[in-house]
Amino acid sequence: MTVPTYLARRAEPEAKAAERLEGSFGHVLEIPAYGEREDLFATLGSIPSGPGGDVLIVLVLNARADSPAAVHEANEAARRRLASLGARPAPLSEDPPITAWSVPRGRLVLIDRAAPGRFLPEGEGIGLARKIGCDFALSAAAAGRLATRWLHCTDADVLLPNDYFDQTFAVTDDATAAAVYFFGHRFEPDEALGLAGRLYEISLRYGVLGLAWAGSPYAYEAMGSCIAVRPEVYAAMGGFPRVNAREDFEFLNLAARQGAVARLSGAPLELSGRISTRVRVSTGQALGKLVETPRAREAFRLDHPALFAHLAAWLDMLEAAATSGDLGAASGRLPSNSPFFLANLLTDSLERQGAFAAARAALSRSQDPAVRRRLLHTWFDAKRTRRLLDLLRAGGLRPLPWREALREAPFAELSGSVEEDVSALLAHLAALEKGLAATPAGLPRATRPGP
């Protein structure tokens, strides 16, 4: 789907208002805000200038009619304070209200979907809010207002580094569909919450390192606060999914099919390590569960390293099948007679997904190994990778106590020893993950799908 087609058929109504925007901008940044107070203004204050010029900030203030009273109160306070930030307000739309202000580093556009008559629909949330903001940004790009080739997304509790826009500005490879920023959490001084935050971040790093070690093209952090995407890719994907949880995971899963996902290695974004119930699946939710009781932290577990070894065996089989065109012959590559490899569990789990039938169908569609590889990995995407790991866990590859998992995981590179200091362990895993930036994730240009 081209940008004009997307804007005509799939964009949210707010996108039309971008045609009335004045000025030109080097960069654009989308931020959804739901019940935010001081964190929102800290985020706005952290937005740096960029090498391309002024920044267009698209802020989507949002809520539903059934949102908690505290959310509505915070949104009203934010609305009043935002009005005092810039000079010369310019109304771009009355329904819903969209207003633009000049601010020190560019232009702030407020899309107000947080008051009676303009609330988000029941059951909607972060996915729709992101789509509204990014659709507006895409429309501005189509109108010739943006010099950038990137649409940036973050959250209203993130502190951006000074080289934020420089990092994507330096990505010149046309094969790159999207980029994910490196990040770190701001840990709370409270001992229990700080430990919970570090354990949770360890689990994120561990999971990505395991996927990368296994050879998955979907080994990246899927966080809405850390995403940038090419405008043409955004349109081809159909925009942000209108889901109220894991919209970032769904989004990057689609982006990775379009081309490479660059893993950026510049200064990290600082994410909040706060407890939150805003979204059903989130860092804030995970921290809340860990903080509820000391036992939850003591019993913290990480995936069994063998989980990733089984995934690696399947991916190796897919690579062999893509090259030869023969799935049956490739199945002979699975380890046998090993007490550490449960071949029956892997094949049973794959059968439950319909993986073998899907792989045979993909192989029958082309004689070109590159096309076959693309077809295989388009079917066996991030969602099906996650499903396979779930089935392997349920079948017996249970998570291990977290220190034991780190000690046994070859991709953790701890040489059999695990430091007692949690902060040091986290720093070690973060350094390993940052090292992945040397190679992109996703499907390379040679095997990317057509338009």
Q: Is residue 7 pLDDT above 90, yes or no? A: yes
Mean pLDDT of the chain: 89
Look at residue 393 in the predicted model and tell me its pLDDT.
Answer: 95
**pLDDT tens figures, 356-400:** 999 999 999 999 999 999 999 999 999 999 999 999 999 999 999
What pLDDT score does 446 carry? 38
Q: Which residues lie across from 237 on neighbouring strands? A: none
Residues constituting the chain = 451
β-bridge pairing 400-401 and 183-186: unpaired
Q: pLDDT confidence of 195, banded at 50, 70, 90?
A: confident
The percentage of residues in the chain with a pLDDT greater than 90, rounded to a whole number, is 72
Question: 249-274, pLDDT tens digit by residue?
Answer: 999 999 998 889 999 999 999 998 65
| Angle at which helices 191-214 and 283-292 cross, to 10° | 130
Domain ranges of the chain: 3-190+215-280, 304-398
449 pLDDT exceeds 50? no
Per residue in 91-132, pLDDT (tens digit) is 999 989 999 999 888 999 999 999 999 999 998 999 999 999
Say which residue, 202 or 331, is predicted with more confidence.
Answer: 202
pTM as predicted: 0.90
Question: Does domain 3-190+215-280 sit in CATH 3.90.550.10?
Answer: yes
Greater confidence (77 vs 173) lies with: 77
Three-state SS letters, the chain: CCHHHHHHHCCCHHHHHHHHCCCCECEEEEEEECCCCHHHHHHHHHCCCECCECEEEEEEEECECCCCHHHHHHHHHHHHHHHCCCEEEEEEEECCEEEEEEECCEEEEEEEECCCCCCECCCCCHHHHHHHHHHHHHHHHHCCCECCCCEEECCCCCECCCCHHHHHHCCCCCCEEEEECCEEEECCCCHHHHHHHHHHHHHHHHHHHHHHHHCCCCCCCCCHHHEEECHHHHHHHCCCCCCCCCHHHHHHHHHHHHCEEEECCCCCEEEECCCCCCCCCCHHHHHHHHHHCHHHHHCCEECCHHHHHHHHHHHHHHHHHHHHCCHHHHHHHCCCCCCCCCHHHHHHHHHHHCHHHHHHHHHCCCCCHHHHHHHHHHHCCHHHHHHHHHHHHHCCCCCEEHHHHHHHCHHHCCCCCCCCCHHHHHHHHHHHHHHHHHCCEECCHHHCCCC
